[in-house]
Amino acid sequence: MSLDDAIAQLAQSDAELRAAMGSVTGTQWIWRPDADVWSIGEIAEHLVLVERGILSRLRLAPSEGIEKTDGKEKILRHLTNRTRRIQAPARVLPSGKYGNAAVCLADLALARAETLAWVQAPGTDLRQHVMPHLAFGELHGLQWLQLLGGHTMRHVLQMRDLMALPGFPVVD
């Protein structure tokens, strides 16, 4: 995957997220079918936390372990397969910070702009930044960008599934 491909994937996942969240009401933002399922608001907050966390850690990541990143692109293409649940680390668990979709989407747009500014900056070589993922092992920066796009789409599908559940509020 090239940088242009990864950026296009990020743009597509962002458009899908905005479409899914575009008309979410206040009641829908916080609705949960049970205590073990995140609300749309919690899913969206998680996306902001992940985006910010990856960028801050990736900027400082060394190139050691680059040899362990081979062949991961094939695995990363399957991120939207939600049959396997991955427990999020504590640092990216939602806390209910955002009261509505507009504020959350604004923060996500800012985080995404910061990500894109760094990855497109002259002299940034994404393959020289390697850090581990809890499920996939060592990934270099370009793979992390691919992961961000797939991760967002995975959670867009989660939001859509939530919206399709019986009991999901139709109106405020």
Phi, psi of 59 (to 5 degrees): -55, -35
In a domain, 142, yes or no: yes
Average pLDDT score over residue span 145-162: 94
The whole domain housing 28 covers 3-163
CATH of the domain at 76: 1.20.120.450
- For residue 8, being part of any structural domain is answered with yes
Domain membership of residue 33 (yes or no) is yes
DSSP code for 91: G
List, for residues 24-79, the tens digit of each pLDDT value.
999 999 999 999 999 999 999 999 999 999 999 999 998 888 888 888 777 777 77
What is the rounded average pLDDT for all residues in the chain? 91
Instruction: Flag whether 168 is in a domain.
Output: no
**Is the pTM higher than 0.85?**
yes
Confidence grade of residue 172 (pLDDT, cut at 50, 70, 90) = low
DSSP string, 52-87: HHHHHHHHH--STTGGGGTTHHHHHTTTT-TTS--P
Q: So what's the pLDDT on residue 153?
A: 94
The verdict on residue 169 lying in a domain is no
Q: Does residue 171 fall inside a structural domain?
A: no
| Maximum Cα interatomic distance, the chain, rounded to a whole number of Å | 52
